[in-house]
Chain A
Amino acid sequence: MPTHADYRLSQLDELEAESIHIFREVAAEFEKPVLMFSGGKDSICMMRLAEKAFYPAKIPFPVLQVDTGFDFPEVLSCRDSWVSRLGVRMIIASVDEALENGVIVDDGKMSRNRMQIGTLLHALEEGAFTAAFGGGRRDEEKARAKERVYSHRDEFGQWDPKMQRPELWSLYNGKIREGEHMRIFPLSNWTELDVWHYIAREGIEIPDIYLSHQREVIERDGMLLSNGDHLTLRAGETPSVRTVRFRTVGDMTLTGCVESDANTTADIIDEIAVARVTERGATRGDDRFSEAAMEDRKKEGYF
């Protein structure tokens, strides 16, 4: 319980209070919010904050997940356990279905992660959602440093860096026009370490793959990828079993793991405190194309 003689909150309590404020503000002002749940630690952190924001009532909006068809089974089972514990409605938008229905087109060059964009935008449009919570943090990447908590998207789901509204004090402007929607980033001011400290403090469930385990992997483009049916081995690639963990979760074909003995959230915190490579830099194949890759994808409506 946050009681301090000098009436100062700890940094985690202050971040929590700010995020809860954002969740409540959106629930009060938007007609149809939805929480985009990736199964990763950031979206689990969001779920926890949403749970706290409305307790003892249930979270008053559904959860949306894009099923890439290549999601880690550990992530899906963690998701299911959260969803059933909180009793929230879950909507699944499948990339395969979107491909089948011609909502997105596979031109052979696009990564699965990029196909998520089209699938996601379609699901948001179909559900007529006016606000979509995402787990993005400003410390993740340079292009995100200027992102607002309320990030305005036009009727095409696009983000215009020049059109973002000034955000002052804790006064959020939720005005949107027909067909537009808002991306909401309640974790804007959290860093990777804050998220881990919070998960440790709250003692909440995360997918096992974040913790150290034995896994058959192959090395590709300087990344360790999980071996399995989803990968086609290239010449010279030989799988080996290593002790690894994942720092981000995403599409299995693109998300690399790192060798690690970190067994608990406390170990992870120690590991990150000395880590010298950003989580995205280390393990997300889709961000590596160019320094400005993230910015381009944001303009297209990526998370």
Chain B
Amino acid sequence: MDLLRFATAGSVDDGKSTLIGRLLLDSKAIFEDQLEAVEATSSAKGYDYTDLALLTDGLRSEREQGITIDVAYRYFATPTRKFIIADTPGHVQYTRNMVTGASTADLGLVLVDARHGLTEQSRRHAVILSLLRVPHLVLAVNKMDLVDYDQAVFEKIQQEFTAFATKLTIPDLTIIPISALKGDNVVTRSEPMSWYEGPSLIHHLEHVHVASDRDLVDARLPVQFVVRPKSDDFHDYRGYAGMVAGGVLKPGDDVLVLPSGFTSRISAIDLFDQELTEAYPPMSVTVRLEDNLDVSRGDMICRPQNAPTPSQDIDAMICWMTNAPLRPRQKLAIKHTTRSGRAMVKDIQYRLDVNTLHRDLETKELGLNEIGRVQLRTTVPLLCDPYATNKTTGSFILIDEATGVTVGAGMINSTT
């Protein structure tokens, strides 16, 4: 059994909570006491059916406002896969939550209401998922029961979305007509929609092939922690612990350590008391080298013929996540893999309109929930790859130095 992480997005009332409630319920991730609480609330509110949306909705203050306004994580499993849902709200102002949810997702699930078709928001959801390089996208056309399960309605939305998607980077697109409320094509194939020949949503989630999504070519191990037992049994042990960010590492491999430029060879790869024959993403391992080098946290173990170019000049797409806008010359703390430093904004090249993909070259700042292309200068060289090649070595966060709050998320285009 493996793990699939997916992010959901939809405008308010498209039926996202109902759909998630149904996935949890049908996969038995909902327990009696949780269901009872929701049934009680539903009848107290005078509903004539159980509002499955109540199963997933979060904190009390948000509950009182009747909306979800943050990323919430849900868990369910079928016999073949465990699923982690990053449930992100669809409001205009919450781009940052979607970016957060999408950052770890293998798959993005966008909901639209069949009656309304594609909206500006559905387009924006797709744009964000594509910017974050979420490799698989599912468009679920919901509330098909309210349009008499009409094939023509579905096909019109399908065509419109497929045309729009060609402008984006979406390697794998699947479009499914569903009714979250009635259950059509969620777990079981729909009777009234016998014209639809594709998989049900859960079948697709269970079988979508994600093995090749990670970078298995470019060996990258950001050193996180140096393990030095200083005990009699392991007197000379010196291991470099970290999560493999790319490629496949094997004992005997020649390696290059950045930024020092020293070379050595892997003598062993440890996972607790086992020696591994290979390590690949996202394994957390400890690598030992043949030579005694000075390697510390923030360094990167890679291959002599395949290494990132250290650079202090970074060109990136940045999603801005706080009220005070990002402006040229602003200084921030930056965290990239296991390296931390400071960064200064050299230029804001353009702001991307996530609804139209229009590049606004006039604006010289990024407001809350805006995404733009930015040039940064960093105090320490970043050992990075383009985000399109490697999400781990291609991403960073920006931190406000005064408050310590995470205020920006960056995806590296290139080093200059």
Contacts and interface: CB of A to CB of B under 8 A. Distances in A.
Interface of A: 1-3, 6-11, 13-18, 20-21, 24-25, 27-28, 51-58, 138-139, 142-143, 145-146, 161, 164-171, 173, 175-177, 188-189, 191, 193-194, 275-278, 281-282, 291-292, 295
Given A175-B404, A292-B60, A168 B397 contact: yes
Interface stretch (B96-104, B145-153, B308-316): B96-104
Contacts of B326: none
Interface of B: 1-3, 29, 31-34, 37, 56-61, 70-75, 77, 81-82, 84, 87, 96-97, 99-100, 103-104, 210-211, 214, 216, 224-225, 227-231, 233-234, 237, 241-243, 248, 270-274, 276-278, 280, 282-284, 286, 297, 321, 333, 335-336, 338, 391-392, 395-397, 399, 403-406, 409
Contacts of A10: 1-2
B16 to A, nearest CB: 14
Nearest to A52: B272
Nearest to B279: A2
Contact of A275 (B31, B241, B273, B278): B31
Contact of A6 (B57, B87, B211, B227): B211
Contact of A171 (B77, B96, B277, B397): B397
Contact of B31 (A6, A169, A193, A276): A276
A194 to B, nearest CB: 7
B75 A189 contact: yes
A171 B411 CA distance: 13
Contacts of B391: 169
B297 A28 contact: yes
Contact of B32 (A146, A166, A168, A276): A276
A194 B75 CA distance: 11
Contacts of B272: 51-52, 55
A2 B283 contact: yes
A249 B321 CA distance: 40
A7 B211 contact: yes
B31 A281 contact: yes
A170 B335 contact: no
Contacts, number: 190
A203 B411 CA distance: 41
Given A170-B243, A276-B31, 8 more contacts: A3-B277, A14-B2, A18-B282, A145-B72, A166-B71, A169-B395, A171-B395, A177-B404
Contact of A146 (B72, B274, B297): B72
Instruction: Name the 7 nearest CB pairs between A and B, nearest first.
Output: A175-B404, A281-B33, A20-B284, A57-B229, A276-B32, A145-B72, A168-B103
Q: Give the one of B57, B96, B280 with max A CB within 10 A.
A: B280
B206 to A, nearest CB: 13
28 contacts: A1-B274, A7-B214, A9-B283, A11-B82, A17-B283, A21-B243, A53-B284, A56-B227, A56-B231, A58-B229, A139-B74, A139-B75, A142-B58, A143-B59, A145-B87, A161-B61, A166-B96, A167-B406, A168-B103, A168-B395, A168-B409, A169-B103, A169-B397, A175-B399, A277-B33, A278-B34, A281-B33, A291-B37
B267 to A, nearest CB: 15
A194 B225 CA distance: 27
Contacts of B403: 177
Contacts of A53: 241, 284
B212 to A, nearest CB: 8
Contact of B228 (A57, A173, A276, A278): A57
Contacts of A16: 284
B230 to A, nearest CB: 7
Nearest to A290: B60
A57 B33 CA distance: 44
B230 A57 contact: yes
Contacts of B56: 142, 145
A158 to B, nearest CB: 14
A6 B228 CA distance: 33
A159 to B, nearest CB: 11
Contacts of B214: 7
Contact of A176 (B31, B61, B283, B404): B404
Nearest to B41: A291
Contacts of A278: 31, 33-34
A191 B324 CA distance: 38
Nearest to A150: B406
